[in-house]
Chain A
Amino acid sequence: MRKEFSGWIENFGRAEPRFVFLTGDLGFAALENVQAALQGRFINMGVCEQNMVSVAAGLAQQGLVPLCYSIAPFAVFRPFEQIRLDLALHKLNVKIVGNGGGYGYGIMGASHHALEDIAVLSVLQNFCCFIPLCNSDVSGACEALFRHVGPSYLRLGFGVWPATIEGPSRFKPIRKLIATREARPKATVVGLGPVLLNTLPWICETGVADVFAVSQMPLTDLTNDLLSSVSASGLVWVIEEHSARGGLGEHLATWLAKRAIPFTFYHSHALGYPDGLYGSQSYHQTLSRLDTASLQRTFQQLIS
């Protein structure tokens, strides 16, 4: 998604003179076009994520629109207090952009993974997270990111929408991607980010489930089509490349419980490092049973 992101940002930055791009010394072979376009408004902060966020807060306090870029764990976890105190509690219009959410950086190891980013940011006051589903979703996510005037986070990953399915529809906080062809769905599948793509072609072929993407956290409400689907299926299956605690699953379950809708809940999520070993994003997805084959098995068990 970095290519789509940098292309969108370049155009945005050319048109918006208040925009300032800060990077924590990352973005090789990805942000050169942004740097060339913005010149003095592109600032390499060095490997100083705490200062990057505080400086962004100072810029925003003076009416500028700064963005802080790094890989997801460095963008979120190191400067967490600066994000909380300098940005969220001051409601400042600063964008945090983290590349490689989930296991996106694969063999780079645990230091480079972000399995808790949505959880820790979603609990902050005044804070909003945007999670594009696939590469072609990035421009819509960026538009939403900048339409939201306040502190916010964009979690980038990698995902190609399957050519065999029409879509995706326009970026929205919650959107229905696939509708069952049955009278009523056997399951309501709700996913966060590109890992949901691991289910799309084959679930579509079965025609027995509704599939929804959540692209904005924390949830602020549920859509009518999602509520109708859960009421009809009685089975909610949440899929996310994120820890169970504080992720989409917990948020969604709470919202559904508030609506007093009876449902069975199953959660496929990042399990961390169950064997203590490291590998590619695909390796970690497999260990967490988030790969396509594991998800297919889970789905069969759930609907049988």
Chain B
Amino acid sequence: MKDHPDGNDLKELAQFRQQCAKKVLELYKMANAGHIGSSLSCLEILVDLCFYRMSNDDVLILSKGHAAAALYTTLSLSGRLPEAQLDSFYKEGTLLAAHPPCGGTIGAIPFGTGSLGHGLGLSCGIALSCRFTGKSFKVFTVLSDGDCNEGSTWEAALFASHHKLSNLTVIIDINGLQGLGYTKDILNLEPILDKWQSFGFAVAIAKDGNDFSSLSRAHENVQSSKEPRCIIARTIKGHGISYMADRVEWHYLPMKDEHYTQALSQIANAEAE
């Protein structure tokens, strides 16, 4: 990985993003399932990690397991999961359920998640293990607004900071929405930058967490830190699809045919631009 993605890298990432978005929508349509907005919210974060930032030894934990389709797709299209396996998404007897599978049966998915508040603690353990095994790799964990409601997340944040887990990067996909509405109305997390800083993390904000340049700048701002790193990625739930954007119902709803057609058309238009 280069220190800074150049124009070609960014163009390539944008192309991968569009491929992944189409695949994510295809999977959800095939499954007639929800969590589409959540997957589109963190898609750029995962594309950046899987297609640019992570080396083969690095570990990715998706704490917001409900965005599993985005995880499966980015892992698959980046060569970490057989693409044919995606066809089993949501089907009877699949490993690729609505939330990532338990048991480490897929090498690139060390932990099954889906209950919020687990990912950061698990990531801390994996990051800490390097001190005993002599291995050297980075751990990336993607959290949601809801993850930041959970007390266990803050227990893990204290731990990561106390033990100076500098091989750990937390990326918070903070789209401002959670289960039943806006985070600020349900359990306000702001000022979230101050919170993570006060917990001892090197923090950077990606003002547009759905933009690769913004994400890269944030990563670069903390990459030399000896502290655990935290990227606060301000994203939009349902990003890229006009009728889904910033709408809580797209946490849950499946797409009707006309929704799907419209979504694909919007992706095609974005590609053309």
Contacts and interface: CB of A to CB of B under 8 A. Distances in A.
Interface in B177-212: none
Contacts of A61: 104, 110-111, 122, 125-126, 129
Interface string B131-168: 11101000000000000000110011011001000000
A50 B151 contact: yes
Contact of B132 (A20, A56, A86): A20
Interface in B63-89: none
Nearest to B113: A85
A86 B128 CA distance: 16
A162 interface: no
Given A63-B133, A64-B133, A48 B155 contact: yes
Contact of B123 (A58, A63, A66): A58
A50 B155 contact: yes
Contact of A62 (B118, B121, B133, B156): B133
B27 interface: no
Given A54-B122, A58-B126, A58-B127, A81 B111 contact: no
B133 A51 contact: no
Contacts of A54: 118, 120-122, 124-125, 152, 156
Interface range on chain A (Cβ under 8 Å from partner): 20 to 34
Interface in B82-123: 102-104, 110-112, 115, 117-118, 120-123
A179 interface: no
A82 B159 contact: no
B121 A55 contact: yes
Interface string A85-97: 1100111000000
Given A51-B159, A61-B110, A82 B121 contact: yes
Given A45-B159, A54-B156, A63-B133, A89 B103 contact: yes
Given A48-B159, A59-B129, A91-B103, A82 B152 contact: yes
Given A51-B159, A85-B118, A57 B103 contact: no
Given A81-B115, A90-B103, A51 B126 contact: no
A51 B124 contact: yes
B189 to A, nearest CB: 19
Interface in A109-144: none
B103 A62 contact: no
Contacts of A289: none
Nearest to A63: B133
Contacts of B131: 40
A51 B152 contact: yes
A90 B156 contact: no
Nearest to B110: A61
A118 B155 CA distance: 26
A64 B132 contact: yes
Contacts of A172: none
Interface of A: 17-18, 20, 40-41, 45-46, 48, 50-51, 53-64, 66, 81-82, 85-86, 89-91
User: Shortest 9 CB-CB distances between A and B: which pairs?
Assistant: A58-B125, A54-B121, A62-B129, A51-B155, A55-B125, A48-B155, A89-B102, A58-B126, A50-B152
Interface of B: 102-104, 110-112, 115, 117-118, 120-129, 131-133, 135, 151-152, 155-156, 158-159, 162
11 contacts: A40-B131, A50-B152, A50-B155, A57-B121, A61-B104, A61-B110, A62-B125, A62-B133, A81-B118, A89-B103, A89-B112
Given A57-B122, A90-B111, 13 more contacts: A40-B132, A46-B155, A48-B155, A54-B156, A55-B125, A55-B128, A58-B122, A59-B125, A59-B132, A62-B133, A62-B135, A85-B118, A89-B103
